Amino acid sequence: MIHPPGTQAWDTVRPGLPKTIRIHESLTSPHPTHLLSQPRLQGNLVTNSPNSCPKLSILPMPHTKVDPAILEALGLDPANSAMNSHGGSGFASTFKITSEKDGKPVNYFFKTGTGKGAEVMFRGEHASLNAIADAVPNFCPRSHAHGALSTRPGHYFLATDFLDLGSSAPGGSGKSLASKVAQLHTTPAPIPEGHDKPMFGFPVPTCCGATEQDNSWRSSWAEFYADNRLRHITRQALRKNGSDPELEEAVETVAGKVVPRLIGDDVVGNIKPVVIHGDLWSGNHSKGQIGGQGGCEEVVYDPSAVYGHSEYELGIMSMFGGFSNHFWQEYERLAPKAEPIAEWPDRVKLYELYHHLNHFAIFGGGYRGGAMSIMKKLISKYA
């Protein structure tokens, strides 16, 4: 997301879209100046765009009665459960549920959306959060339920642990962001149902901004990245922005020649699928308390997960910056660069390319230039 320095990060969401996460936090834009004029994805939503993600509903506020479908999914008693809008301004459609379980107070966060797009988005975010939570405990809120609201046909919900980004509670693990990301990137993916080994992909589609991503299982990472990411997003970009032979030819050259040369199974040794957050930029991590339990932790949110090559994560992290030299030194000590190390910068640029194409598919405009610049350099070296 792009926002002026010193503004409230979550207050720049386009009217009519809900904020994606909990407590307001002042942020200074970390993005390179050449990207500041471009719209930016806000987690699983987008900002500054009239053609953004699936339309998400705004429920009347305050709205104290919790939908029966949510009560049932969370196992809550309607007699002691209530919800209130949470997140601030008038565009919010995010809510905090307060209730009791076993005589103890509990809080949940939930959001609602309208239509098939919201259903797909919430299913993907539900699976993404839990994949991360399974790999690295206390790194993100766990999702407890998603589904259809019973009192509002065509409306869907996602219910997660309440994440208090304003907390300074003591007693956290003390683990750094770098150590948690490294743990995420070195924890082997589970074996998916119907297969006999870990695969590249994800059990359900996920959304990166407005883009529904094809996460169909593949045994080859190079094939997954070429087909499920580069070619897939290019088709969407062409549908949105019109015919573009130069872009299409460049993407095909990268997918057909550069990808196997840079990240082919016989080039980068021993690529194993691990959990990738999928949209890990400075606006999607902070410090907070998860579910009212334990202390303040380094946390991430708004994921678009996939089981993939750990270096794939570095594309979006490098594109918008915001991670210190100290972060990278610690991360690379715990998750060393793969061989051949000399080609590591170009592999990261190859992964950054997907996000330029995704932003171009959603926003059009200057992101095409960024994509073409990356492709021309990679093609000149590897095609």
Output the DSSP codes for 111-125: EEEEHHHHHHHHHHH
Q: Which structure tokens are listed for 318? A: 């490098």
DSSP conformational letter for 139: S
Output the DSSP codes for 189-220: PPPPTT-SS--BB-SS-EEETTEEE----BS-
C-beta atoms surrounding 276 within 10 Å: 29
Catalytic residue among 161, 164, 279, 302: 279
| pLDDT recorded at residue 269 | 79
Q: Which of 98, 23, 58, 378 is nearest to 226 (CA)?
A: 378
Bridge partner residues of 111 (DSSP): 94, 158
pLDDT in tens, 3-48: 222 222 222 222 233 333 332 222 222 333 334 334 444 433 333 3
Q: Compute, in degrees rounded to 10, the torsion defined by CA atoms 123, 361, 322, 112.
A: -30
Q: Are 351 and 310 in contact (CB under 8 A)?
A: no
| pLDDT recorded at residue 322 | 92
Q: Is 261 helix (H, G, I), strand (E, B) or coil?
A: helix
Cα 81 vs. chain centroid, distance in angstroms? Answer: 30
| pLDDT recorded at residue 67 | 94
Bridge partner residues of 218 (DSSP): 200
C-beta atoms surrounding 237 within 10 Å: 26
In the chain, % helix, strand, coil (3-state, to 5) comes to: 40, 20, 40
| pLDDT recorded at residue 87 | 66
Cα 324 vs. chain centroid, distance in angstroms? Answer: 20
For this structure, is 134 an active site residue?
no
* Distance between CA atoms of residues 228 and 217, nearest Å: 9
Domains and CATH numbers, the chain: 177-382 (3.90.1200.10)
pTM, entire model? 0.85
Tell me the mean pLDDT per 10 residues along the chain, length 383: 28 29 28 40 37 40 77 95 69 78 93 91 97 98 97 94 90 95 98 98 96 98 99 98 98 99 92 98 95 94 97 97 96 96 98 98 94 99 97
